[in-house]
Structure 1
Amino acid sequence: MNLARFPRRRYTAGFTPLEPLPRLSALLGPELWIKRDDLLGLAGGGNKTRKLEFLVAEALREGADTLVTVGAPQSNHCRLTLAAAAREGLHCRLIIEERVPGTYSPDALGNNLLFDLMGVESITPVALGSDLGAAMAAEAAAVAALGRRAYVIPGGGSNPLGALGYASCAQEIMAQSFDQGVAIDRIIVASGSAGTHAGLLVGLTALNAGIPLTGINVRRPQAEQEANVHALAVTTAALLGTPVPDRSAVSALDRWVGPGYSLPTPSMVEAVRLLASVEGIMLDPVYTGKAMAGLIGLAREGVLRRGERVLFIHTGGSPSLHAYAPALRDPVLQPQ
């Protein structure tokens, strides 16, 4: 798997930690480990940093001076794209898709505050169901009218080039597994825009790792998400020149989505509060909170066996926690 032939910016010094979760393991049974991609470089960390290393390198190669992208309210991807733009001296324009009506407020805390602090050039809210490609194309045209050049990054940075960031992460995990003498039996990751999930799958397949990868879906029905992940894995493997993962290797469980994307659930609140209280690690309500709720559920059901070594990929997102304070403190959502 030759990633060195792709231009890349580096926003993180070295590998992110691979750490045990001994107190959570004692509560749940499996031997749990965590990959701390919440500690990746750029503002507040998170998985999009790995994707942006490849995407921003391509933007700079093309001579772009402005990054344009899209995300939901409180988008971690938008925060990190804006941070990369600030690091590189570029402008940044954001399209905010209100996936739940009425949820975008420019005055909100969390990531919305950080958009302002990092000097976003413009934010354009659009309704769910809008043509996001057309909205980003319109922004790129507006940039061109100013005599500048835009580079458009898809939501989540989830195209084949961005997914290379998590093919690289698979390589990193295997190196750490060897160095630390930690043989991983299963990996669990949040599955949203599909780039992280697909990139890991491509990397693990290319390395012949033989480690099952379980996605915990945060937005879509299982069949739809699994199709999205496999389609992106196919095009990413083609870009990388490695074997295509088998469709049967794609798993994106949807039982912990709840009423919809970003909407709080009791199991998410339990997961966020539990990991914070027993391990001192912050999750986010939209992605990692629901993914950890899935891990907890699978452990309690016996799907994750006692003594099985399970690695959870912490994809970041904690800067948005403050915006969800009412839900995290709601007694109705607290575990009884």
Structure 2
Amino acid sequence: MNLAQFPRRGYVKEATPIEFLPNFSKALGGKVNVYIKRDDLLPGTSGGNKTRKLDFCIADALAKGADTIITCGAVQSNHCRLTLSWAVKEGLDCYLVLEERVKNSYKPEASGNNFLFRLLGVKGITVVPGGSDMMGEMGKVAEKLKAEGKKPYIVPGGASNALGALGYVGCMEEIMHQMFIQGLTFDHMVVPSGSAGTHAGIIAGMIGNNINIPVTGIGVNRPKAVQQEAVHKLANQALDLIGVEQRVPADKVIAFDDYVGPGYSLPTDAMVEAVKLLARTEGILLDPVYSGKAMSGLIDLVRKGYFREGSNILFLHTGGSPALYAYLDCFGN
């Protein structure tokens, strides 16, 4: 595969660390060895996985002469934070369309990412009800800006299109190189699965590089069948874009929906346990929406014996810890 054929901005200048979690692994009974890929340490305001995707998407925007970026997400969206962050860095205006997936959940004065939107100087925020046609809503903002003489570029939610997914095809190549250099082998990989681009990119990277490591996605928003179909479709679109003829077998795409709880962004006891456990054993912060629920899934699967005893498990940390500060009530003292 030749990712160099696709323009990017060079936001990812070095590999993010892969760390062994000895204390966390011991706290889970020592049955498996848990490692973590620290994409929470990627560049961009407070880090996170979207930087890899935006590396490609914003390069495309600039190549097309855009002076304004429009994107969307939930009210505490990490993707919106990072898109705004990189737009600021590039001297582009940025407008956000926020979806109230939980009714009345948007609070302009809220902490977490809402505070960072204001601090970073977002040019405009449009709040729409849950279930809205988000591409349609962003299109409305784009038409208004065009009428004002602007040149907007729409980045889809999560930067999860075929171009954005290349960021995680590249990440899988990065992991493969780290495994070689560090003498690591992994028996399984666990990834958060939301807007589908990260999960799809990892799987496409596995297929394109003939890496036979099983990947389990932990869904944070949609029913299992819907999520698996979305990931499967996007992974094949990414392979098409790169020019890889091999297809992703449908049975290679797993996205459990057991850990979503009452709904997207709504806290669960298992998420709280996961966030506290990793913080108190390894000093690493998860977020309450994506990585926290994904880690709660990993913990439950370990306890159920899903992974072979003695396995090396790699967890992809997608970042998002600023959202913790909007969830203080969940964590008590």
Q: TM-score, normalised by structure 2?
A: 0.98
CA deviation map 1:259-280 (0-9, x unaligned):
1100000100000000000000
Q: What is the RMSD of the two structures over their aligned residues, measured on CA atoms?
A: 0.8
Structure 2: which 5+ runs fail to align? none
How far apart are residue 199 of structure 1 and its match? Answer: 0.4
CA positional deviation for 1:248: 0.8
C-alpha separation between the residues in 2 aligned to 1:321 and 1:275? Answer: 14
Q: Which residue of 2 aligns with 1:309?
A: 312
Match of 1:24 in 2: 24
Structure 2 SS opposite 1:123: strand
**Helix, strand or coil for the counterpart of 1:68?**
strand
Amino acid at match of 2:141: E
Match of 2:326 in 1: 323
The alpha-carbon deviation at position 327 of structure 1 amounts to: 1.1
Shift of 1:306: 2.5
* SS of 1:4 mapped into structure 2: helix
Deviation at 1:134, TM superposition (A): 1.5
| Partner Cα separation in structure 2 for residue 329 and residue 76 of structure 1 | 23
Q: Distance in 2 between matches of 1:272 and 1:42?
A: 22
CA distance in 2, matches of 1:64, 1:24: 45
| 1:166 is the counterpart of 2:168 | yes
Which residue is 2:185 aligned to?
A: 183
* Separation in structure 2 between the aligned mates of residue 69 and residue 288 of structure 1, nearest angstrom: 21
The amino acid of 2:156's aligned partner reads P
Q: 1:262 aligns with which of 236, 260, 265?
A: 265
**C-alpha distance in structure 1 between counterparts of 2:200 and 2:136, whole Å:** 25
- Cα shift readout 1:24-47 (whole Å, capped 9, x = no counterpart): 111222111000000001001001
The answer as to whether partners of 1:52 and 1:162 remain within 8 angstroms in 2 is yes
Query: Residue 12 of structure 2 contacts residue 55 of structure 2 at CA under 8 Å; is this kept in 1?
Result: no
Structure 1 SS opposite 2:5: coil
Return the alpha-carbon distance in structure 1 between the equivalents of residues 136 and 34 of structure 2: 43
Q: TM-score by structure 1 length?
A: 0.97
The one-letter amino acid paired with 1:166 is Y
Once the two structures are superposed, what CA deviation does each residue of 1:264-313 show, in whole Å capped at 9, x if it has no partner?
00100000000000000000000000000000000000112321000000
| 1:234-263 deviation digits (Å, cap 9, x = unpaired) | 111100112221111000011111111000
Q: Distance in 2 between matches of 1:122 and 1:257?
A: 30
1:78 partnered with 2:80: yes
Among 267, 273, 276, the residue aligned to 1:273:
276
Cα distance, 1:322 vs structure 2: 0.5
Work out the CA distance in 2 between the residues paired with 1:291 and 1:253: 10
Within-5 A mapping of 1:127-142: 127-142=129-144
Q: Which 4+ residue blocks in structure 1 deviate beyond 4 angstroms?
A: none
Distance (whole Å) between structure 1 residues aligned to residue 137 and residue 127 of structure 2: 10
Residue 50 of structure 2 corresponds to residue 55 of structure 1? no
- Provide Cα deviations, 1:55-79, integer angstroms capped at 9, x if missing partner: 0000000000000001001100000
Whole-Å separation in 1 of the counterparts to 2:14 and 2:40: 14
Tell me the number of residue pairs that the alignment of Structure 1 and Structure 2 aligns. Answer: 330
Q: Deviations over 1:157-181 (max 9, x none)?
A: 0000000000000000000011000
Report the Cα offset of residue 193 of structure 1: 0.3
Q: Which amino acid aligns with 1:14?
A: E
- The 8 Å contact of residues 238 and 244 in structure 1, kept in 2 or not, is answered as no
- Return the alpha-carbon distance in structure 2 between the equivalents of residues 131 and 212 of structure 1: 34
Matches of 1:236 and 1:219, distance apart in 2: 22
